[in-house]
Amino acid sequence: MITVHHLSSSRSERIVWLLEELGTAYRMEWFQREATGAAPPDMKALHELGKSPLITDGDTVLAESGAIVEYIVRRYGKGALVPPVDSPQFARYVYWMHFAEGSLMSLMLIALVLSRIPEAKESPVRARILSRMTNMLAYVDGALTDTEYFAGDFSAADVMMVFPFTTMRRYLDYDIAPYANIGKYLARIEARPAYQRAMARAGPDAKP
């Protein structure tokens, strides 16, 4: 059985959500962030980087959100939450799966670091990063103009894409009000029973 080694208020909520969507049996081991926000040392006993998300499945130890999501849908998904490779939606699925961390979260993390450096408040570098964030959010909003989900039907790409617009905003203060399509998208996501179960277990307000 898969064990999700869950760090409080972290990207590992994605993995719990994915497993709830698939109806795949799992157990969850809870790790509480330290006062500094860091993962506790006990996580390094599982993986030398001591980071989350992290799963174990038998002898397999796997980190990284995208890698874990792909592993689970390929090994346990039975074709669910992934468009057929010969469908028009498949390229979009692959793109948004990787965009979530490769483009969107990487930019947001830079913005987050700069927001915590007082000397960077008036920096032209911070201004450029915030401008890029505005452009990127407008791009994502536009991608949702004529579709309910990123790859057409709900897929594992959505599991990857939601975190930057929800829990990440607990850390990086930005407004999604100007992006109506993203707002409507989040309302659809939040209405999903599996998402509600996952947030109750592993969301930013969940408790051990």
Alpha carbons 101 and 54: distance in angstroms, whole number: 16
Tell me, yes or no, whether 168 lies in a domain: yes
Average pLDDT over residues 168-196: 97
State whether 134 and 180 are in the same domain. yes
Q: Domain residues for 118?
A: 89-192
Number of domains in the chain: 2
**pLDDT band at residue 131, thresholds of 50, 70 and 90?**
very high
Please, are residues 30 and 208 in contact by the beta-carbon 8 Å criterion? yes
Confidence (pLDDT) at 87? 97
> At 16, which CATH number?
3.40.30.10
Longest dimension (CA), the chain: 51
Tell me, yes or no, whether 208 lies in a domain: no
Residue 201 pLDDT more than 90? yes
Residue 36 pLDDT more than 90? no
Average pLDDT over residues 31-53: 89
Confidence (pLDDT) at 173? 93
Residue 44 pLDDT more than 90? no
Tell me, yes or no, whether 167 lies in a domain: yes
Average pLDDT over residues 68-74: 98
Burial class (CB in 10 A: 0-12, 13-18, 19+), 106: exposed
Beta bridge partners of 27: 3
pTM: 0.96
